[in-house]
Amino acid sequence: MADAAILRETLTAIFPDLDIDAVLLDFPGVPLDNLANILYEIPPYMNTYRKVEQLAAPPPAVVEEPEPVAAPEPPPVDLTDELCNELVRRLREDLETDKMPPLNAFEHLLKDAFPTLKPEFVTHCLEYAGNRRVAAFIVAFLAFNNLSDRLNSVVPNKHELFKHLELGEAADPPPAVMDKFIKADYQNVNEVIDVLKTYDAIVDLEILVLTHQFTCGICRERYSDNVAISCDQGANSNADAAGDAAITHKYCPECIKVHTDLNAEEMPLLEGGAGLKCIEHECQRPIYISKIRSLLKKHVINRLDERIQAESLAALGIHIERCDACDYAVELEKPCETNKVFACPQCNKAKCRICKADWDDDHFGVKCHELVEMQKREKNDKYMKGVYARMNEVVSRKCHKCNLQFVKSDGCNKMVCRCGSTQCYLCRAENVDYNHFCRHVYDSVLRRCTQCTKCSLYADATAADNVIVEKIAEEAAKVTIE
Q: How confident is the model over 374-410, as pLDDT tens digits? A: 888 888 888 889 899 889 988 899 999 999 999 988 8
pLDDT at 242: 41
Higher-scoring residue by pLDDT: 129, 48: 129
pLDDT at 402: 92
pLDDT over threshold 60, residue 244? no
Question: Where exactly are the structural domains of the chain?
Answer: 2-40, 79-206, 222-234+247-318, 373-478
CB 115 within 8 A of CB 171: yes
Confidence class for position 433, pLDDT limits 50, 70, 90: very high
pLDDT at 44: 54
Taking 3-state DSSP, the helix, strand and coil percentages for the chain, each rounded to the nearest 5, stand at 40, 10, 50
Higher-scoring residue by pLDDT: 110, 165: 110
pLDDT at 163: 75
pLDDT at 241: 39
CB 438 within 8 A of CB 454: yes
Nearest-CA neighbor of 102 among 132, 122, 124? 132
pLDDT at 294: 82
Higher-scoring residue by pLDDT: 273, 402: 402
Q: What is the C-alpha to C-alpha distance for residues 438 and 413, in angstroms, rounded to an integer? A: 11
Tell me the range of 42-46, 217-221, 429-433 where mean pLDDT is highest. 429-433
CATH code of the region 222-234+247-318: 3.30.40
pLDDT at 254: 87
CB 228 within 8 A of CB 134: no
Q: 210 forms bridges with which residues in the sheet? A: 203
pLDDT at 237: 42
Tell me the range of 152-166, 179-193, 234-248, 378-392 where mean pLDDT is highest. 378-392
